[in-house]
Every structure is written in structure tokens, then in C-alpha cells.
Structure 1
């Protein structure tokens, strides 16, 4: 015979009656313990913080936003930081252009915190080295606020990227931007890595920074196949020749033009206009 109390127990949510997961019985439990012990101190500390944040990441963000001296950073990207997820630098750059409050547009972090901001100008993603420097500097401040032990790592990595930007032609900066995006995505997925583990990213360097890498011609390939430039990653048609420049009607400097100032004769792309192309007998 079932008692009244047992009947009440049956009506309780399943979550209240479910057992706590015993992580020690996971097949990878022993491997996790030994792997964590072998990690550098700063990464071990990051794991400890993330284990603490995971209980209520939105509450963590609310606490960050209510702390005096909190660095300016998009609320959605604060959430990605405390979850150690990929941070969208395009959204970070957008924040640099936010100047006024707009009660009609709010961003809800949880049931209690709402931010209302109006964007005066949208960056449409990271397109130049200057865009990157602005956004990544803000990113360093935010990371340092939550994970102070990782500050030096992020500064060193940003210096590494700055040298890559300096070493490559302006028209190829989109490759560095994609390279950076891929590295940060991998580090977000593999928490045992740090951004300065450059040897772990050699395959990405080959993919995006070499002329034979499969990622080096992504923008131009998508533009050539569909007749449209790839705007999704913020690079636009930057790898495509400027037809106006070839006709002598583009008055923008190469660094400011959306397209590359090079020969638009198919298969050439030399540093001259089409009318001066030495391969005039080639394909058109």
C-alpha cells in the first residue's frame, strides 16, 4: 500500500530525486587528474576558476558588471570569457563605437541585469590591423580582469600578431586575421593550450599564411565561384583586384580601398594596372 508521503515524492521533479554524477567513475577520470597535474600553474589555475564559474556563469558576469573598475566589454563576450569560449572581436570593436544609452534596445544578461546601448557605427567585423589592435587590447583588459595569470600570455601573443601584420602586405592582413581567429578557436576548445604554444598551430600557419595553404584563397575563391565577396568574416573582397583602379578611376589609397590595387587581368595580379600588364597576350 502506498503512503501519502510516497505519493508526494512521486510528484516531485525528477531532478530532485536524481543522483549526483560521480565523476570519479568516468573512464577518463584518472587521465584528467594526471593531465591537470602536469599542466603549467597558470593553466591549472584557469581550470580551477572555470570549475567554479560553471555553476552559474551568468551570475559571475552580473558580479563582474557590478564591480567598480570593470573594463568595458560586451556582456555577451563577458559570458564567453567566463565559459572560456571563443570571443567575437567584431562585437568587441562595436563596443568602441557605443556612445549613448537607448532604452528601446536592451541586452539581457539574466533576469536581473539589463544593459541598454545604442551603436552609432557598426564595425562589420575585424577588417584591418588597426581594428584588431583596438579590439584585442580591450580583450586583454577583460581577460586580465577574470584570469590575471593569463595577462602576460595574451600580451605576448598580441605582440606576435602585430609582427605578423607588419611583416605582410596590407592586402594580406585578412589572412592574419583568419589565422588569429583559428588559433583562438582552438585554444577555446583545448583548454590545456595557451596562445603562445606556437608549435601547436603550425598547421594553421600553413593554412592561412602561405600561398599554398587551403585557407589563403578563401575570400577570392568564394568571390569567383559565386560572384559575391565573403562578408561574413569581415574581410569583404579585400583579396580581389580593384577594377576602378585598373581604369584609373579609384582615388583611394591601397590600404583604404576595399579591393587590392593590382592588375585585374586573370592570372596576373601584378603591381601594375591592366593597361601596363606585360602579359597582354595572356588570358583576359
Structure 2
């Protein structure tokens, strides 16, 4: 059939599309992509309906043209099934005849992965993705396409990063997080900034029985101040931009958003902002229709984490109280059997090496000199001169 892509004959033009060369080319290409196994029948059908003007108008020429192409898809599907059946029946007696439509039958019989036994038409989100594809911003669309490419061989992607002459020093586990589209753990980033020792290795599976070795998964330092966040975020943004250069403007917009929250809030609220940042980055990493630059959509999370009556803030406060109580152990040993915080500043916090968060530590994360929310190493008040 000439409409199935014979190069020696003009493309099939259904009723209602006479003179609409671009639409005919687009629909013909979609039929060919289906025949070559590049897209599923459901996706081809959806895109054909999108390409034809007035395809959804009942009784119109667009509906007739769409129906004609859908019938071609049905016929192509039957021909491919027949080619596959002949090939399977040969029991090693040779390849299917090359006369199958456009040569696509031979490719379709072997192009799918041996593990791929799924009918895409039964996955409604795939069809929905193609319908909504054109509504994504250019940044989101490019990120989505790059992540799909990275997922094919993340081990190779990491090797190319490690061998690049321009990559920055960054925790290997967090390079993997970026490659896979996950949120970076800023605690691990800031820990690596001050670490001078080799960490114990751990293995992490990335699929297909492939494991990568990384340093210890437990950070020894936590992001607890505005200064900590700036230090960690700067490195994380630089690493992310290395992998996704097109996201530079998005990341800078988000950095300014968080900095505005810091500068417009009292210092005792900064810990909540750090929790909010962690939530926002995890939320964005778990979606493909939202980017960090969409700051106007973060309002309900702001209220949840920053308001005194916000659900997320009250939940974190309750967890911190429970953790403090359990650390007390209910006994008298250690001087903290009642689970209450001690009123003295935490010495390890002031040395910038406390492994506990502000909420979990039994001592106060305050400066031992001025009693404000920073370690003494960052205090600008002069030390008292002994009398």
C-alpha cells in the first residue's frame, strides 16, 4: 500500500486534507514511526488526532481524515503481526521476507527488549504524557528528555563525569542523585566540604545488577544555618549545572527565592526554611511538571513550614520532642533522664562538628559567646578579655 511509506509513490492523502502538505507529512511520519517500533499504536493515534485540524469535530472533514489514518494503523498492526508470526514459525529457517511494509517488520520482530512485554496502550500515563508534552516549559522538556537518556546507562554517565577535566569536587553519591533526577542531600555536600579523611565505602544498586561504591551514607555535619545552606547550595547548583547547563537560570531563581526567605525572617525561623528547602527540592525531584523556578507555586508549602500553626512545622516539632524524650532513656544516667534539653551551648556545635540536628541535640545549638544561632567560629563579637 502506498500509504504505508513506499518512497516511490506519493504519500496517501485522505479526504479533507487536500493541500495540507505539512499535516499529511506529519501523519505519514507517525504511521512510519509506529511501523518501525519507535512509538506505540496508542501514542501514534493520539498524535495523529492532535495533528489534524478539527479531528474532534463530529462529521467534519478532519474526523474523516483521522479515521482514515486510524484504519491505516489498524492495517499496519495486522501486517506486523503476520510478519512476526511467519518469522516465529520459521524455527530458524531464515529471516522474514524483506518485502514487509517499509522493511519495518524485520525491525519490529527484534527491536523490543526481551524484558519488554508491556502493551503501552494499557499505560494511560504514557498517552497522557504525549498529550501534555507541548504544555511543558522548554526547560522541563529538555530536563525530562535528558533524564530519560541518563536512565539508559547511569554508570556510563557517572564515568564520563568523573573523567571530565572540568567537573568539580562533589560527593559521588550526589553526582548519581543528579544524574537520576533526585534531590541532592545538602548535608552530605557540606560534610564533604570539610572532610579530610577517607570514608568507608558502601554499595548502591543502579539496576541490572550493577552496583557503585560510594563513601559513608551518614553525613557528619548538617546544614543548620543560612551560611551552611549557602555553602552547600552553591556547590550543589554548580554540580547540577554541570550536568544540566540549561537549568542555570532556574537554579539561580530558586537560590534568590530561598535567600529572600532568609533575609525576611527572624533567625530562629531559619531552621524551618532549611526544612522547607528540603521539602521543595524533594517535591520537584519527584515530579516532571514542576521546576525549582516555579516559586509562585510554593505558597502552600511556605505556610505549612513557616507559619507557627503550619502542619509541617508542628509535625517536625512533635518529632523533635519525641526524639529528645527517647534520647533521655527514661533513666538518670547521663544527667538527662527526663529527656529535656540542657541549657548549656553544645561544644561540638561550636566546633562545627556536631552530628545531631538542632532539634535532636540535647544541648543548645547556640554560640557559646553571644548566645545567637551560629557557632562561635563564625561569631563577630570579640572574645572577652580576662581580667
TM-score above 0.5: yes
Gaps of 5+ in 1: 7-14, 259-284
Write the distance in 1 (CA, Å) between the matches of 2:186 and 2:127.
37
Residues in 2 aligned to 1:217 and 1:160: alpha-carbon distance in whole angstroms: 23
**1:1-284 alignment runs, 5 A limit:** 17-100=114-197, 102=198, 105-106=200-201, 122-123=220-221, 125-225=222-322, 227-228=324-325, 235-237=357-359, 251-256=369-374
Distance 1:88 1:229 in 2: 26
Aligned-pair Cα RMSD in Å:
3.8
Indicate if the aligned counterparts of 1:107 and 1:115 stay in contact, CA closer than 8 A. Answer: yes
Whole-angstrom distance in 2 between the partners of 1:226 and 1:95: 26
Does the 8 A contact of 1:106 with 1:114 survive in 2?
Answer: yes
Q: SS of the residue aligned with 1:99?
A: coil
- Aligned partner of residue 310 in structure 2, secondary structure: coil
Instruction: Choose 27-36 or 182-191, whichever is displaced more.
Output: 27-36
Which whole-Å CA distance do the structure 1 matches of 2:200 and 2:362 have between them? 37
**Contact 1:219–1:239 (CA under 8 A) maintained in structure 2:** no
* Alignment partners' CA distance in 2, 1:200 and 1:116: 36
Q: In terms of Rg, which structure is larger?
A: 2
2:173/2:214 contact within 8 Å kept: no
C-alpha displacement of 1:36: 1.7
State the distance in 1 between where 2:173 and 2:323 align: 33
The answer on whether the counterparts of 2:167 and 2:242 sit within 8 Å (CA) in structure 1 is yes
Secondary structure, counterpart of 1:55 in structure 2 = coil
Give the Cα–Cα distance (whole angstroms) in 1 for the partners of residues 115 and 320 of structure 2: 53
Kindly tell me: are residues 66 and 198 of structure 1, through their superposed partners in 2, closer, same or farther at Cα, counting changes over 3 Å? same
CA distance, structure 2, for counterparts of residue 115 and residue 207 of structure 1: 35
Tell me how far apart the structure 2 counterparts of residues 116 and 223 of structure 1 sit (CA, whole Å): 28
Deviation at 1:176, TM superposition (A): 0.3
CA shift, 1:126, in A, is 1.0
TM-score computed with the length of structure 2 as normaliser: 0.53
Tell me the CA shift for residue 217 of structure 1: 3.6
What TM-score do the two structures reach when normalised by structure 1? 0.70
SS in 1 for 2:313: coil
The count of corresponding residues between Structure 1 and Structure 2 is 237
